Chain A
Amino acid sequence: MKSEQQLPVLLQGNEAIVLGALAAGCRFFAGYPITPASEISELLSLRLPEAGGRFIQMEDEIASMGAIIGASLAGVKSMTATSGPGFSLIQENLGYACVAEVPCVIVNVMRGGPSTGLPTSPSQGDVQMARWGTHGDHPIIVLATSSVLDCFSITIKAFNLSEKYRVPVIILSDEVVAHTRESVTLPGPEEIRVIDRIAPSVPPEWYKPYAANNRGVPDMAAMGSGYRHHVTGLIHDEKGFPTQNPQEVDLFQRRLHDKISKGFNEIQVSKSIMMEDAEVCVIAYGSVARSAMRAVKEARAKGIKAGLLQLITLFPFPRQIVDSALRQCRVAVVPEMNMGQICREVARVNRSETRIVKHNRIDGQLITPEEILKYLVSV
């Protein structure tokens, strides 16, 4: 492990996700082959057994999602990885993980859609789907990666948030991030903070599996640990049993939302680059943030006071962070490899006179720095 973690190594984004997952304590993975996410399965099939974990290739993505929920219920940190078509299939059980509050991490390496779409081209078309893909009204955490090093650290962050808040966390990568190889120096184990779920401290007969602690998150007992309890996709009371009592239903539904709201400060992560005196800014995420970074540097070289707000947490949408960037700048450019899925969020939270300009590319090609620079120069 040492040689991998302290010397610079050449890694693909997908490989860095694997190393991040292992560092975060992931010991179970279930997946189904799909481009451009398959390398994650391939490498984990090699690495998990060596770490004492289990890898399994299931019959489809529905099954993969079910299996990781099962493993997580048995007390093991779990992950699956897929791309658009498989992401559609996991939605059913993703909802189950939300309602039963089962920690797990789902990687979606975005490719062009809809349907089979563009299997080998990058896209950011699944952003709103990640937020709203499964039915019902529920909070969820969505993080976006833009570089190989990101893939490592954001995967660890995803596991930590998932365990701490008992909520599925979705990592949105894309074909560019997934397959780009970069030289990275990964942090050593001593630099990595890993968070584990909290097991009940009361005796089993007192255990209420869905009674909230002060953060709104119930303590979680592993199946087979002596804390026998019931887990269901039905709306349930504190004891975990189905209920239709309006008061209990309301209490439960609101707690799901509140536990995330209470953690906004910790959950909502972004990077502000050259924003101190920026008059125009680019709000970007994923691989497009890299093009934006280049464009902002070029604009600065031309004397334009440009800045970059790179969103890492896409949902819960970082309203406060975006709001303060919008108050500061005359114009915000939102480049995306979709028709404006985050731009609509930006517009939604805009309470100032700031002009919001969207730039959309949906031809399966990464947005170039020139395309963004054009806006920065003209506005």
Chain B
Amino acid sequence: MREEAEIIRQEYLRHDKKFPHVWCPGCGNGIVMGALLRATHNLKLSKDEIVLASGIGCSGRMPTYIDFNTVHTTHGRSLTFATGIKLANPELSVISVMGDGDATAIGGNHFIHAARRNINITAIIINNSTYGMTGGQYSPTTPYGSKSTTSVYGHVEHAFSIAELAVTAGASFVGRGTVYHASHLDKLIGQAITKRGFSVVEVISNCHVQHGRRNKLGGAVEMMQSFKNNAVTVGKAEKMTTEEMEDKFTIGILADIDKPISTEEYRRINRQAERDADKVVKAKVKNGVKRYEE
């Protein structure tokens, strides 16, 4: 374990360039970054074949620290850049790391359509229930009643569940983990990357500095303790009643389905188009655009 940590530090971090990092002491982002690196290391992926994209926010800084091909995009748009990269070079292993506001508020439309489209990209969404970098405003996953810098009277809206949203939108693989269950998270991220199709890992994380402090949830340790207490594996949750599941959440694999992957479908189209090129093109180009002719 120690040895592995040292390899990862030496091999994967831009430690001579970009450290110290911007994250607060005790932040869950570092655990997610560690899990991601252990997962790609164990999968023996080369650094050159991985692209790590991010949006804006605390999670958005992760690519800065890792020696992959990295893209720090605009707020919420990480998946759109990732889509272009993956389609342009399907050999690359494309991972997009986002926050809850990033992926499901400003980038919500991109998120559901990426899931529907099923391009072979892995989305890791760090859900800390707040906009940490901008000072703790409420996000789409801030619980009802919670305090934030923009819900000082208590939050009157309701949160949605990222993983369930991904399942409904059609992602091929959906998992949920927490920053407390670190080795489980390694495995989950590894499975998501290996999965052919659009895969999502929601990571329940702590922002004790913003969300935790305002809602008296304690520091990093207490918040992680609560993840430990409230996380229920998918198998266990099936045997529990709704009342028993109150205030708890499931971790594990929520969806793992096989369906055609857009990346491969596009390749099939290329082959078909090249074959049919002559006849189809000649007919169509010379016909111009039909819509305006009738």
Using CB atoms and an 8 Å cutoff, list the residues of chain A in contact with chain B. 3-4, 9-12, 14-15, 27-28, 30, 39, 42-43, 46-47, 49-50, 52, 54, 56, 58-60, 62-76, 78, 92-93, 96, 179, 181, 222-226, 228-234, 239, 241-242
Contact = CB atoms under 8 A, between A and B. Distances in A.
User: Which of A27, A42, A63, A75 is packed against the most chain B CB atoms within 10 Å?
Assistant: A63
Contact of A224 (B64, B73, B89, B282): B89
B110 A28 contact: no
Interface in B12-50: 14, 17-18, 47-49
Given A50-B274, A92-B74, A62 B80 contact: yes
Interface string B138-156: 0000000000000000000
Given A12-B288, A42-B289, A228-B68, A74 B85 contact: yes
Contacts, number: 171
5 contacts: A14-B289, A15-B285, A30-B84, A46-B281, A234-B72
Report whether over half of chain A's contact residues are helix, strand or loop; otherwise say mixed. Answer: mixed
B126 interface: no
A94 B213 CA distance: 38
Nearest to A78: B84
A15 B291 CA distance: 14
Interface string B113-136: 100000000000000000000000
B37 to A, nearest CB: 14
A4 B85 CA distance: 31
Interface of B: 14, 17-18, 47-49, 51, 53, 63-64, 67-74, 77, 79-89, 91-92, 109-110, 113, 266, 269-270, 272-274, 276-277, 280-282, 284-286, 288-289, 292
A233 B49 contact: no
B88 to A, nearest CB: 4
A228 B73 contact: no
B255 to A, nearest CB: 21
Contacts of B73: 66, 69, 96, 233
B64 A242 contact: yes
Among B17, B18, B63, B285, the most chain A Cβ lie within 10 Å of the Cβ of B285
B84 A179 contact: no
A73 B285 contact: no
A282 B63 CA distance: 53
Contact of B71 (A67, A76, A179, A231): A231
A66 B84 contact: yes
Given A58-B80, A73-B71, A96-B73, A15 B289 contact: yes
A377 B276 CA distance: 57
Given A56-B83, A62-B80, A223-B89, A4 B285 contact: yes
Given A46-B281, A72-B88, A231-B70, 11 more contacts: A4-B285, A43-B289, A58-B83, A58-B113, A72-B84, A73-B81, A75-B89, A222-B89, A224-B51, A228-B47, A228-B70
Contacts of B266: 49, 54, 56
Nearest to A39: B289
Given A49-B269, A54-B87, A230 B72 contact: yes
B289 A74 contact: no
A71 B87 contact: yes
Contact of A228 (B48, B77, B81, B83): B48
B85 A73 contact: yes
B190 to A, nearest CB: 21
A96 to B, nearest CB: 5
Given A66-B73, A66-B74, A50 B289 contact: no
Contacts of A73: 71, 81, 84-85
A230 B285 contact: no
A96 B284 CA distance: 36
A10 B289 CA distance: 12
A241 B71 CA distance: 11
B217 to A, nearest CB: 31
B77 A66 contact: yes
Contacts of A70: 53, 71, 80-86, 88
B92 A224 contact: yes
Nearest to B76: A62
Contacts of A78: 84, 88
Contacts of B79: 66
B72 A231 contact: yes
Contacts of B274: 49-50, 52
A246 to B, nearest CB: 20
B80 A224 contact: no
Given A15-B285, A74-B88, A76-B88, A63 B48 contact: no
A52 B270 contact: yes
Contact of B69 (A10, A93, A228): A228
Given A4-B285, A49-B270, A59-B109, A74 B77 contact: no
B84 A69 contact: yes
Nearest to A11: B288
Contacts of B81: 66-67, 69-70, 73
B74 A96 contact: yes
